[in-house]
Amino acid sequence: MDVFLFSVAASIAALIGGYVAFCSRQKLNLALGFTAGLILGLVAFDLLPEIFEISASQNLDIMWPMIGLVSGFLLFHIVEKLILIHHGSESQYGPHQHPYVGVAGAVALSGHSFLDGLSIGIAFQINTAVGVAVAIAVIGHRFADGFNTTNVMLYHQNAPSRAKLMLMIAAAMPIIGGLTSLLFSLSESILGIYLGFFAGFLLYIGAADILPQAHSKGSSRWTILLTVGGAIFMFLITRLA
């Protein structure tokens, strides 16, 4: 029951983040700057430390999660470029913009959302104290993931209705992940490699896709400050949680 309740709380946090993103879509460049900072902070202060901790505790060669990271980065890069070439989207939307690319980015974030729910369940398998601590950390950055999912969809010219659908999917993933954790125990070594793969996925979305587009109409002090603020915000969330 604890796993289910905390997973639901994580889903609600993602929905709130998505709602805030919809309200700010008239100033999408500023929102994208903040989103890029959040994703960078998520990778640097949440995923990578977890990968290093798992690698140390499981005697896992850190090279494997790093291979996963590079694979995730390159896979999204290849998928994005193939979509752009196939659909000729540069003439329609401009570089790096296509609805399918937005969907691919949202799917990556949904995969991370599933892992968050799975992490809650696995943590409760250890003991209640660890489960609560992990759940608080997950809920803290579910807001950011809901915000990021919506902004990725809106930026890539997806209709608001489709963005809402992907937000609902991302919000449901922690619940599905939490319930899935009740069915089996996941090897921590595999989890470390999986985290590396999604860190690469998210790193590409933030640094190679969203951040350049946040400055596509000219850099501003507010955009830069919001990018820095997003990274600081995620640092504080991970430290305080």
Q: What residue segments make up the domains of the chain, in order of their start?
A: 2-240
Listed in sequence order, the residues at least 6 apart from 202 whose beta carbon sits closer than 8 Å to its beta carbon are 39, 42, 43, 47, 72, 108, 109, 112
Confidence grade of residue 92 (pLDDT, cut at 50, 70, 90): very low
Residue 140 to residue 117: CA distance in whole angstroms: 13
Residue 76 to residue 82: CA distance in whole angstroms: 10
pLDDT at 61: 96
Q: What are 191's two structure tokens?
A: 């989890």
User: What letter represents residue 73's amino acid?
Assistant: F
pLDDT at 125: 78
- pLDDT tens, 203-235? 887 888 778 877 766 667 888 999 999 999 989
Q: Does the pLDDT at position 68 exceed 90?
A: yes
Q: For 96, which DSSP code? A: T
Confidence grade of residue 70 (pLDDT, cut at 50, 70, 90): very high
Top-confidence residue, 77 or 217: 77
Query: Residue range 52-76: average pLDDT?
Result: 93
